[in-house]
Chains A and B, each alone.
Chain A
Amino acid sequence: MTRQNNRALMLLIAGFTLWSGAFVLLYALQALGCAYGWGEWHRPILIVAYVVSLVPLAVLAWQRPNKTGEPQTSLSLSALWANRAAFVAGILVYLPVTFATACI
């Protein structure tokens, strides 16, 4: 496998790997906040975690899998769009942590 394909393959799995990590992080913060009674700090912490989680996803979504001069392959194109899908999925799926009831 060429170096370009290696890089594209890593980028292909990077977006949704980060996405799932952020999902677990937000889930944990929501549960811990309720268990330990973070009170009025709970929501701001969740919102900050939401925004911070989206930063690496946004970077990946704008990252060109092939360097300047390298030809675009189906793998690099798949990596680019998989990462863009992960970013949009992050915005949508994590959004409820900013407003939905966290604790009962």
Chain B
Amino acid sequence: MSPVLKTLCLGATPFVLAGCSGELSTLDPAGPRAANLALLWWVMFWGSVVLFALVMILFFLAYFRSALLARFTPAHWIIGGGLILPIPVLVLLTGTALVLGEQLLPHGQAPLRIGVEASRWEWRFTYPNGVNSAEEVVHIPAGQPVDFEISAADVIHSFWVPRLGGKIDAVPGHVNVIRLEADEPGTYWGQCAEYCGEGHDTMFFRVEAHPPEVFAAMMEDNAGE
């Protein structure tokens, strides 16, 4: 590798690692549902690291210690590498995804339901008391699950608050429900995750999580915003 290329690669590493945290990082979860998704990501990541290492070790042995592998026939490789190795790995990964995925679903009624309507290129939130939020900010109580009932006015958008949970499509004429929860009071950024036109890249919104008593007082004051 040339010194210039090496310097570039080493120099770029911090920028790549910077993706592991920040306002829109799924690897910096701030709630139980986002934590499930981050855990699934880590399970997949470490699973792939182990498999990659295993294949590289076999590759190394094939080159430098070929006598060690000479006892295995082609049938051993096909059955072992093609069936015995991938089946438990896939069953384990699928099982993990199913169990963690089930826990994301909005079973039963959450205490609070907030309406969301996406349109080019803004978000409109409606609280149970009928008040609409302005300036694309939505307030929620921290430590409590909140259901967002999501729809769209024009084209398909996607509602995504990476630090609180998964994303879900906002489809015209259809209501999708996603349950999110923030562990602590704070500000969590969200964005449209489905390309929806020229204003897509600025279609952000903010979730402000407050202590439950503060949130209750805001609702009583009719302060949707």
Instruction: Tell me the A residues contacting B by CB distance below 8 Å.
Output: 92, 96, 100-101, 104
CB neighbors of A among B95-110 (8 A) = 98, 102, 105-107
Taking the complex as formed, is B219 at the interface, i.e. its CB lies under 8 A from any CB of chain A? Answer: no
Contact B91 A101 (CB under 8 A): no
Q: Kindly list chain B residues whose C-beta atoms are within 8 Å of the C-beta of A100.
A: 98, 102
Taking the complex as formed, is B177 at the interface, i.e. its CB lies under 8 A from any CB of chain A? Answer: yes
Q: Kindly list chain B residues whose C-beta atoms are within 8 Å of the C-beta of A96.
A: 98
Interface of A is mostly: loop
- 5 pairs of A and B residues whose beta carbons are closest in the complex: A101-B105, A104-B177, A104-B105, A96-B98, A104-B106
A24–chain B nearest beta-carbon distance, Å: 19
Interface of B is mostly: mixed
Instruction: Tell me the B residues contacting A by CB distance below 8 Å.
Output: 91, 98, 102, 105-107, 177
- Determine the distance from Cα of A100 to Cα of B105 in the docked complex, in whole angstroms: 11
Return 10 A-B CB contacts under 8 Å, by A number.
A92-B91, A96-B98, A100-B98, A100-B102, A101-B102, A101-B105, A101-B107, A104-B105, A104-B106, A104-B177
- Determine the distance from Cα of A100 to Cα of B103 in the docked complex, in whole angstroms: 11
Q: Kindly list chain B residues whose C-beta atoms are within 8 Å of the C-beta of A92.
A: 91
B115–chain A nearest beta-carbon distance, Å: 16
Q: Which residue of B is nearest A101, CB measured?
A: B105
B148–chain A nearest beta-carbon distance, Å: 12
Q: Which residue of B is nearest A103, CB measured?
A: B105
Q: Kindly list chain A residues whose C-beta atoms are within 8 Å of the C-beta of B102.
A: 100-101
- Determine the distance from Cα of A53 to Cα of B105 in the docked complex, in whole angstroms: 27
Q: Kindly list chain A residues whose C-beta atoms are within 8 Å of the C-beta of B106.
A: 104
- Determine the distance from Cα of A101 to Cα of B105 in the docked complex, in whole angstroms: 8
